[in-house]
Amino acid sequence: MKRKKVIIIGAGPGGLSCGMILANKGYEVQIFEKNKIIGGRNGFIQLGDFTFDIGPTFFMMKNVLDEIFSICNKNLDDYVELAKLEPMYRLVFKDKNVFPSSDKEKMISELDSVFPGSSKGYLNYLEKESKKFEKLIPCLQIPYGKVTDYFKKRFINSLPYLDAHVSLFDVLGRYFDDEDLRLTFTFQAKYIGMSPWEAPGTFSIISFIEHNGGIYHVNGGLHKLSEAMAKSIKEDGGNIFLSSPVRKINVVNKKAVGIELENGEKVDADFVVINADFAYAMKNIIDPDLRSKYTNEKIDKMKYSCSTFMLYLGIDKIYNNINHHNIFFADNYKNNVYDITTNKILSDDTSFYIQNASITDKTLAPEGQSTLYVLVPVTNNTSDINWNSVKEKFKNRIIDLMETKAGLNDLRKHIVAEKIITPYDWQENMSVHNGATFNLAHNLTQMLYFRPHNEFEEFGNCYLVGGGTHPGSGLPTIYESGRISAELIINKQ
């Protein structure tokens, strides 16, 4: 019997998880990636002898990727080396530092030290959010292709825990009164590119996932996960073609039948999986006359996440006075978030994140040197900001903050390599619509059934994976999108 052929557009984490499963189950898998490296936003940047992750910098919910490797009769730990981080990160407020831990006793001690009297609320948080996690996670592991999926038992059982009608910040108010303490458990809204005052309370499970299971560093960088998945695909006979951009999906009789590459070559397939940025794919590789639901006008009206200003610095020394992961909050964090999401301007007072991975991983830089990865949440390209004209000034402002607020007081003279990615670069060079780094927003009208479906609605034999489809953005959920779509294809037989 002839093997069914699957073409996957994009070698990001969703496409790789989908491709892993299908290749292992006997499908002929071909992945076409426009860039010269694997991983998409989970790829890497090389600046001389310095190696940086492009996007995600830590790994949580290891069990999700463990399960995907297990489905393929493989063991993730045979492919990558992981280090659990303790403390998980350092949070820097105007008048205090917090070092959250996934060790319950250590976290109680930290809270008693920084926020006296708050440990009772923390224990209540662990108890209640554990039940919520238990009910909600199964709802993210199935597709929502029809409204009747809401009437399935697992979703109905989750309703008392959903908290979709209240904000994430308000949910944490059930446990903590202090605003900084609430932010300690809600800043994770930034992982989906949203404000804790706007993100549905459903997402309180993100901080619980960290506190319950911890976070990991992958030796060599988080992009090693993508490389491990690509290796698995090749072991099972799949092929990955780099520097191979796709011009369009070919559709006959309302069914995808293959793709056309930018060089004009046509490749036939039984199924096509889209792992490109959702909105970019709609506007660029699917003909407008094939889109009745996702027209250009509809795409433009959808809500998108914030963007990020990225700074990758090669340093000729190692800073031991900051942690592996560090988050520096604006003095008025709420105003900073409001500027990003509503005013769509650059704040005078901004928050930023620094990864100082070289204190944990000596493979990322030459001996005695280090990498500093800097992420600044900023508004997306629906703003009027001209990044080409402001990026140098903004970069210098961030470096000023790193020297003063982060205590790296001699930073400038130690920078020997540098790269900037602005929201404009995300859009123009990385094919991210509106430069919205975390894809479509996760408001109620863009979740579950109301998010683009894993089985594409416009024509048959086409599937979606990645942050722009169900279950959403963030590495674990993107991996799940790949698994869901792979299972949908397998169940077609």
Residues 201 and 263 in one domain: no
Give yes or no for a contact between 278 and 440, defined as CB atoms under 8 angstroms apart. Answer: yes
Residues 6+ apart with CB under 8 A from 73: 24
CATH number of 465's domain: 3.50.50.60
Report which of 467, 445, 194, 218 is spatially closest to residue 341, judged by C-alpha positions: 194
Residues 317 and 350 in one domain: yes
| Residues spanned by the domain of 369 | 306-433
Q: What is the pLDDT of residues 216-258, one digit of tens each?
A: 999 999 999 999 999 999 999 999 999 999 999 999 999 999 9
- Tokens in use for 461? 């034999």
Model pTM score? 0.96
> For 250-278, b where at least 16 C-beta lie within 10 A, e where not — what string?
bbeeeebbbbebeeeeebebbbbbbbbbb
Residues 318 and 428 in one domain: yes
The arithmetic mean of pLDDT across residues 247-274, rounded, is 98
Q: Quote the radius of gyration of the chain (alpha carbons, Å).
A: 22
**H helix runs in 137-194, sequence order:** 153-158, 168-172, 179-184
Give yes or no for a contact between 217 and 88, defined as CB atoms under 8 angstroms apart. Answer: no
Show which of 214, 249, 278 is a domain's final residue. 214
Residues 9 and 70 in one domain: yes
373: three-class secondary structure by DSSP = strand
CA distance 241 to 35: 9
Give yes or no for a contact between 480 and 471, defined as CB atoms under 8 angstroms apart. Answer: yes
Separation in Å, CA 124 to CA 87, 129, 147, 166, 427: 21, 8, 34, 19, 42
Q: Residue 493 above 90 pLDDT?
A: no
- Tokens in use for 247? 């011009």
Residues 427 and 314 in one domain: yes
Q: Residue 441 above 70 pLDDT?
A: yes
Residues 55 and 151 in one domain: no
Residues 343 and 424 in one domain: yes
- Sign of the torsion angle spanned by Cα atoms 419, 362, 319, 188: positive
In a domain, 28, yes or no: yes
> For 381-410, b where at least 16 C-beta lie within 10 A, e where not — what string?
bebebebeeebeebbebbbebbeeebebee
Residues 298 and 414 in one domain: no
Q: What is the pLDDT of residues 410-427, one digit of tens each?
A: 999 999 999 999 999 999
In a domain, 91, yes or no: no
CA distance 463 to 485: 6
At 279, the amino acid letter reads A
Counting the structural domains of the chain, the total is 3
Show which of 194, 214, 234 is a domain's final residue. 214
In a domain, 77, yes or no: yes
**Which residue did the predictor score with more confidence, 2 or 450?**
450
Counting residues of the chain whose pLDDT is more than 90, the rounded percentage is: 94
In a domain, 96, yes or no: no
Q: Residue 261 above 70 pLDDT?
A: yes
Residues 6+ apart with CB under 8 A from 440: 278, 279, 302, 303, 304, 305, 446, 451, 452, 467, 468, 473
In a domain, 87, yes or no: no
In a domain, 97, yes or no: no
Q: Residue 38 above 80 pLDDT?
A: yes
239 pairs with which residues across the strands? 30
Residues 167 and 132 in one domain: yes
312: three-class secondary structure by DSSP = strand
Q: What is the pLDDT of residues 152-179, one digit of tens each?
A: 888 998 898 899 889 999 999 999 999 9
Residues 389 and 374 in one domain: yes
Q: Residue 2 above 90 pLDDT?
A: no
Show which of 189, 214, 239 is a domain's final residue. 214
318: three-class secondary structure by DSSP = coil
Q: Residue 1 above 70 pLDDT?
A: no
Report which of 54, 353, 342, 42 is spatially closest to residue 187, judged by C-alpha positions: 353
In a domain, 36, yes or no: yes
At 450, the amino acid letter reads F
CA distance 26 to 266: 23
In a domain, 295, yes or no: yes
Residues 327 and 403 in one domain: yes
Residues 416 and 350 in one domain: yes
Q: Residue 151 above 90 pLDDT?
A: no
| Secondary structure letter of residue 200 according to DSSP | B
Rounded to the nearest integer, the mean pLDDT of the chain is 96
DSSP per-residue letters across 58-119:
-B--HHHHHHHHHHTT--GGGT--EEE-SS--EEE-SS-EE---SSHHHHHHHHHHHSTT-H
Separation in Å, CA 386 to CA 158, 308, 382: 44, 14, 11
